[in-house]
Amino acid sequence: MDKNLHWLRQEKGFSMMELSVSLPLFAVLLLSLTVIFGWGIKSYFFMVSDWALQRDVQFSMKRICNDVMFADRVECDSGRITIYGKTSDNKTTRVNYELTRENFPRIRRNSQPLTGESTLGTIEIEEMDFDAVGAAGLYIHIKGRNRATGHEYELRTVEYMMNNTRGGI
């Protein structure tokens, strides 16, 4: 019995030949896993950054459309709109939206930033256009770009003013 276990006593670890084959294979495997993990992280941050772009453009469009829907009168030119309305106690209100060109372009509502607060990618609003449609309609176009990914996102709509009884913008 002792003669059969003699070879086991001589095997006390890895041989040089085994190590010289397994270490490079392990290094290649570890390097490829690191590259795949890094690519996944980068893709995740790009995806979240593009989501922030869509969220900013959609949120801006929703705010502008809501204010236009309940407006009495609208004054607009490229990159700027002033919306006039009335409160429940018949006081006149005014809301200004403008496309600024500071460090990076963004939309401001009454001088307060509405877009551009993303920490993952710089979101730029490139275009914000308005045009009268019919007696009480307003064409709205907002286009944004993610500086990190280069992707663009834009929305276009026509919003009609419910309170516009004079028949003009």
Q: What integer pLDDT is reported at residue 6 of this predicted model? A: 63
Query: Could you tell me the residue range of the domain that residue 74 belongs to?
Result: 31-160
7 in any annotated domain = no
Q: What integer pLDDT is reported at residue 87 of this predicted model? A: 82
Is pLDDT larger for residue 26 or for residue 114?
26
Please state, for a pLDDT cut of 90, what percent of the chain lies above it: 48
Say how many domains are in the chain: 1
Q: What integer pLDDT is reported at residue 20 of this predicted model? A: 84
Q: How far apart are CA 1 and CA 61, in angstroms?
A: 85
Q: What is the pairing mode between strands 137-146 and 80-86?
A: unpaired
Question: Are the C-beta atoms of residues 140 and 61 closer than 8 Å to each other?
Answer: yes
104 in any annotated domain = yes
37 in any annotated domain = yes
165 in any annotated domain = no
Q: How far apart are CA 68 and CA 163, in angstroms?
A: 9
What pTM did the predictor assign? Answer: 0.76
140 in any annotated domain = yes
Please state, for a pLDDT cut of 70, what percent of the chain lies above it: 85
20 in any annotated domain = no
Confidence of residue 77 (pLDDT cuts 50, 70, 90): confident
95 in any annotated domain = yes
112 in any annotated domain = yes
Indicate whether 168 pLDDT > 60.
no
Q: What integer pLDDT is reported at residue 8 of this predicted model? A: 58
Name the least confident of 30-39, 45-54, 124-133, 158-167: 158-167
| 41-59 pLDDT per residue, tens | 999 999 998 999 999 999 9
| Burial classification of residue 84, based on how many CB atoms lie within 10 Å of its CB (0-12 exposed, 13-18 middle, 19 or more buried) | middle
Nearest to 93 by CA among 82, 101, 104, 105: 82
